[in-house]
Structure 1
Amino acid sequence: MHGSTGTEPASKAPVGGGDTAAPPPPALVIGEALVDVLSGSGGPCRSHPGGSPANVALGLGRLGHPVRLATRVGSDHLGWSLRGHLERSGVELSPGSVVDAPTSTATAVLDAMGAADYTFDITWALSATVEGSLRDGPPAHVHTGSIATALSPGADQVRHAVRALRASATVSYDPNLRPLLLRSADRERERVAELVALSDVVKASEDDLGWLHPGDSIDVTAARWARSGPALVVVTQGAAGARAWWRHGHRDVPPVPLEVTDTVGAGDAFMAGLVSRLLQAGLLGGGPGDEAAKARAALCAATDTDRLPAVLGDALTVAARVAALTCARQGADPPTAAELVV
């Protein structure tokens, strides 16, 4: 997925304010971390750390945000490599995330255009220690999505956590649906609709919406979601860019002209860039007291218009650039804040 560079990229200022400001509460990402095995396009197989929520956590960490990942990682050599990859980018694993079991994998077969088709070997559940740690913090923002919100038994744990945490934190969600792992679309719609309604920001792909609601246009589904709870809904459309909906309108995000190596992790990078910029703008975030309510009210006020405010247009531009830079290299390898301003 690509986006626009129509406005200035992310500021070089530290996330959270000046030198005298207290460190911001961490963002909490809940979801799977796994290893992507890439094959196809005439080259040898390659392994890269991945998992949609883990990629979002990685992107937030590289953009300078304190971030914690509540996940399930094996104690094998793949898990050791995956943990090192995340920790080097500033991602802290929640206590109990490492388990005595194999690390999950996703095998991505790339076509000639660099697009990926996946098969999975995955187990998803949160340990009791991880579940207990979710009450610590509280986090400023909670992100979840993909396999973690769909695959039993962990999916119910994630939904319970989101419902409990949203009083003190804002929420983002990316369905990132994997039909090979799911029940029928008829049975998934209610689960997805519940999480959409609990969220402040939702990002999905056009494939997600097409699979869930094959009889409706993307515009109809996204507009309906934007009226059900979230202040902002963004649908990525591959090389065509993206489109954002809010209660009173929509806006296209044109593509960035960069050479594509592969599209692995592009949507996750978009999500990380969008959340990062909205956190910086005070339109997402929470913590003790009523901070989440204030941020949620600010985001709702910003979208209570037929013209998207410049701050939200800027956030979409930054998100698209983060995604495009990720497409320019192999695997889910999002840029750092320094690379974004170059």
Structure 2
Amino acid sequence: MVDESERRALVIGEALIDVVRRPDGSAEEHPGGSPANVALGLARLGRPVDLLTWFGPDAHGDMLRGHLSGNGVTISPGSDSAARTSVATATLDEQGTAGYEFDLSWQVPERWTAPVTPPLVVHTGSIAAVLEPGGPDVAHVLEARRDSATITYDPNLRPSLMPPADQTREVVERIVALADVVKVSDEDLAWLEPGVDPLEIARRWAQAGPALVVVTRGGEGATGVLATGHEVDVAAPRVTVADTVGAGDSFMGGLIDGLWSAQLLGAENREALNAAPAETLRGVLERCAEIAAITVSRAGANPPNRSELTEL
């Protein structure tokens, strides 16, 4: 028998260094990468989490390891086998919105072995789910883990790195069909299917497999589309924005954490997740919006600890 208290989250995907260039010409380096940020957010919320990633044995890799391990993320063996650590350059405009350029590589480490205790939830997204040669391997891990774990996915698309939208959409929709929970931004959906209402796409996705598809709209809030046909709207708290780096990843970490607290994770709870009341999910999404708002109020991908959040 598996001791439920020992079950963990497994996050699969890129960890890299974000070089943030500001309008005044200054630049800073921060550990980042969408899946790594999700793992960081979960760890800061007190969740046990393993990160299966890909970085190099260099100074940037040391920065990543120190940052992630220092915040409670367990890095899976073999994750430091890349030739060099990947770098993303984020150039901020006057409103703090980031545009990205990348120098990176991604693959699933060959020496990786699955955890002895099956994870409660497996999350992936962004570059790792699409970029060759690692993307297909990520899909295989999700398929292998679906019998025991909830599968969560955030496309978090990077058009400059990915194939044209029509090709990328095929990959995204294959993973959506594997997932139980999907979080996607309205910007991602606008690139995948220009001119189509984001909620129309979310409704279609929610009938393809997921119990819940959440569309985020930055400062305009978010909408959860349930497979049951219900929809839940939540507002974004009003804050002074430092920058938007990591906001969506913080929201995603909060979503996993909230479903964890609601005892809706794990394959054994898939039926309960599919039948979850709209009001339960509203509370989860409101907490996600609070987490994202805290993140955008300070520089870089810097999600909150649980102690910073409003008590439910």
TM-score by length of 2: 0.96
Q: State yes or no: 1:64 paired with 2:33.
A: no
For 1:114-129, list aligned pairs within 5 A: 114-129=96-111
Deviation at 1:23, TM superposition (A): 2.9
Q: 1:284 to 1:100 in 2, by over 3 A?
A: closer
- 1:186 has 2:166 as partner: yes
Which AA in structure 1 matches 2:274?
C
Residue in 1 aligned with 2:120? 140
Higher RCO structure, 1 or 2 (CA under 8 Å, sep 6+): 1
Alignment-mate amino acid for residue 300 of structure 2 = G
Which residue number in structure 2 is paired with residue 28 of structure 1? 10
For residues 236 and 24 of structure 1, what CA distance do their matches in structure 2 show? 32
- Structure 1 stretch displaced more, 27-36 or 186-195: 186-195
Q: Give the aligned partner of residue 269 of structure 1.
A: 250
- Say whether 1:174 aligns with 2:154: yes
Task: Show the counterpart of 1:320.
Answer: 289
1:210 alignment counterpart: 190
- In the aligned structure 2, how far is the partner of 1:125 from the partner of 1:136? 22
Residue identity opposite 2:282 in structure 1: G
1:97 maps to which of 65, 69, 79: 79
1:100: how far off? 5.1
Q: Which moved more, 1:250-259 or 1:164-173?
A: 250-259
Structure 1 CA distance, aligned partners of 2:116 and 2:141?
Answer: 12
Task: Letter of the 2:29 partner, please give it.
Answer: S
How many residues are paired up? Answer: 308
For the residues of structure 1 that align with 2:200 and 2:235, how far apart are their CA atoms?
20
What is the DSSP-based 3-state SS (H/G/I as helix, E as strand, rest coil) of the residue aligned with 2:207? helix
Q: CA-to-partner distance for each residue in 1:208-261, whole Å, 9 max, x for gaps?
A: 111111142112101101111111111111111111111312222111011110
Q: CA deviation at 1:80?
A: 0.3
Q: Distance in 1 between matches of 2:281 and 2:204?
A: 20
Match of 2:130 among 134, 147, 150: 150
The residue type equivalent to 2:98 in the other structure is: A
Q: Secondary structure at the match of 1:156?
A: helix
Task: Identify the match of residue 221 of structure 1 among 201, 215, 219.
Answer: 201
Matching residue of 2:210? 230
Q: 1:92 aligns to what SS in structure 2? A: strand
Q: 2:280 aligns with which of 311, 320, 342?
A: 311
* Structural RMSD (CA): 1.3
User: 2:263 corresponds to which residue?
Assistant: 282
Kindly state the Cα deviation for residue 31 of structure 1 after the two structures are TM-superposed: 0.3
Q: Tell me the amino acid that sits aligned with residue 126 of structure 1.
A: V
Q: Which runs of 5+ in 1 are unaligned?
A: 1-20, 286-291
**Stretch moving more, 246-255 or 66-75:** 246-255
Aligned to 2:271: 297
For residues 42 and 13 of structure 2, the distance between their equivalents in structure 1, rounded to whole angstroms, comes to: 14
8 Å Cα contact 1:134/1:161 also seen in 2: no
Aligned to 2:302: 333
The TM-score with structure 1 as length reference comes to 0.88
In the alignment, which of 13, 16, 40 is matched to residue 22 of structure 2? 40
1:7-36 per-position Cα deviation (integer Å, ceiling 9, x unaligned): xxxxxxxxxxxxxx9633110000000010
CA distance in 2, matches of 1:63, 1:100: 29
Structure 2 residue ranges without an equivalent (≥5)? none
1:24 and 1:140 in contact (8 A); partners too: no
In percent, how many aligned pairs have the same letter?
51
Q: Distance in 2 between matches of 1:24 and 1:337?
A: 20
Contact 2:10–2:50 (8 Å) recurs in 1:
yes
Is it true that 1:249 corresponds to 2:223 in the alignment?
no
- Cα distance in 1 for residues equivalent to 2:291 and 2:6: 22
